[in-house]
């Protein structure tokens, strides 16, 4: 069990015994939940999933001029270079409360946020894809071992672990790996991002042959990292990959 899972389980036990009041996972304000909500009534509405029009191939939210054709028409980039995944589902836009939660999870080590966020993604997945085929395995976009040692955790893995707990699915950390450390993607344009991560993943062909995979990442901007990781899985023999993303960066 990961540190985040152990922490969440301990908190649930303490709350169940009445030894710990429920505090909002985002603002830490005490509140009385109606069910198993982890976020208070003020923070939960801004965390509602995105319901607007988006490209059916990459999830890019569409500008108003293109929404009349949604969701059947892919964006320009996907028309010229279709992504390798079979389906994509993202929870919300990388802005506001969701962005704040993910930044705190990624850079401030607030791993207790992974459980509530993963639960939101699981609930959205069940609502948006009620007939979706269950995967043979769930994977998180991995970090390079050096990067992982420096940070101490992989935020995408923590989100994937929370999702798998909710849906009772197998999470695998041994089927996909980073083969080289890349420069940070922040500040790079789409072409630079694609070149930066090209060929930076390798997958286990012995165990992936014919497998239907779910691949999870915390944030998607241009999709270059997801494309590279997905390509590695398919080249290793995976039958299909469904991409799950907690937050999609809207077009600037």
Give me the pLDDT at residue 250, please: 87
pLDDT, one tens digit per residue, over 214-240 is: 999 999 999 999 999 999 999 999 999
Tell me what the mean pLDDT of segment 47-67 comes to. Answer: 84
Residues 93, 246: Cα–Cα separation, whole Å: 8
Burial of residue 110, with CB atoms counted within 10 A of its CB: 0-12 exposed, 13-18 middle, 19 or more buried: middle
| pLDDT band at residue 140 using 50, 70 and 90 as cut-offs | very high
> Minimal CA–CA distance to 163: which of 103, 115, 129?
115
Tell me what the mean pLDDT of segment 120-126 comes to. Answer: 97
| pLDDT band at residue 19 using 50, 70 and 90 as cut-offs | very low
Residues 10, 231: Cα–Cα separation, whole Å: 38
237: phi > 0 → left, psi -120 to 50 → alpha, else beta; which? Answer: left
pLDDT, one tens digit per residue, over 76-94 is: 889 999 999 999 999 999 9
User: Strand runs (DSSP E) across 31-122, as ranges?
Assistant: 87-93
Where do the domains of the chain lie? 44-248
What is the C-alpha R_g of the chain? 18
Residues 220, 185: Cα–Cα separation, whole Å: 11
CATH number of 44-248: 3.40.50.2020
Neighbours of 89 (CB within 10 A): 19
| pLDDT band at residue 65 using 50, 70 and 90 as cut-offs | low
165 pLDDT exceeds 90? yes
| pLDDT band at residue 36 using 50, 70 and 90 as cut-offs | confident
Tell me what the mean pLDDT of segment 58-69 comes to. Answer: 73
Residues making up the chain, counted from first to last: 252
> Minimal CA–CA distance to 33: which of 46, 22, 20?
22
Give me the pLDDT at residue 205, please: 94
Tokens standing for residue 247: 């937050």
pLDDT, one tens digit per residue, over 168-180 is: 999 999 999 998 7
Report the run of H or E that residue 244 belongs to, with start and end.
strand 240-248
Q: Is the peptide bond before 71 cis (omega within 30 degrees of 0)?
A: yes
SS3 state at 197:
helix
What is the percentage of the chain residues whose pLDDT exceeds 70?
81
- Placement of tokens 């509530």 in the chain: 116
C-alpha pair distances (Å), 27 with each of 31, 41, 124, 189, 235: 11, 11, 22, 33, 43
**In the predicted model, what is the mean pLDDT of the chain?**
87
Query: What HEC string does 127-194 produce?
Result: HHCCCCCCCCEEEECCCCHHHHHHHCCCHHHHHHHHHHHHHCCCECCCCEEECCCCCCCCCCCHHHHH
- Placement of tokens 């609502």 in the chain: 127
């Amino acid at each position: 069990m990961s540190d985040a899972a152990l922490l969440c389980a301990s908190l649930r036990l303490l709350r169940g015994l009445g030894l710990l009041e429920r505090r909002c996972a985002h603002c830490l304000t005490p509140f009385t939940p109606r069910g198993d909500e982890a976020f208070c009534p003020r923070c939960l509405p801004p965390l509602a999933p995105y319901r607007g029009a988006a490209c059916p191939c990459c999830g890019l939210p569409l500008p108003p001029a293109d929404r009349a054709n949604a969701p059947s028409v892919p964006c320009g980039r996907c028309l010229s270079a279709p992504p390798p995944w079979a389906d994509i589902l993202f929870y919300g836009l990388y802005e506001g409360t969701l962005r704040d939660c993910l930044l705190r999870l990624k850079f401030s080590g607030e791993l207790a946020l992974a459980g509530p966020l993963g639960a939101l993604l699981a609930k959205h997945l069940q609502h948006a894809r009620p007939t979706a085929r269950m995967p043979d395995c769930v994977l998180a976009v991995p970090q390079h071992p050096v990067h992982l040692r420096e940070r101490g955790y992989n935020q995408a893995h923590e989100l994937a672990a929370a999702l798998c707990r909710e849906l009772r699915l197998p999470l695998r950390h041994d089927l996909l790996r980073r083969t080289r450390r890349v420069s940070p993607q922040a500040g790079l344009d789409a072409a630079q991002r694609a070149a930066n991560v090209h060929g930076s993943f390798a997958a286990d062909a012995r165990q992936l042959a014919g497998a239907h995979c779910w691949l999870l990442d915390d944030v998607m901007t241009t999709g270059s990292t997801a494309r590279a990781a997905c390509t590695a899985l398919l080249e290793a023999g995976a039958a299909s990959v469904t991409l799950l993303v907690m937050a999609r960066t809207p077009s600037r």
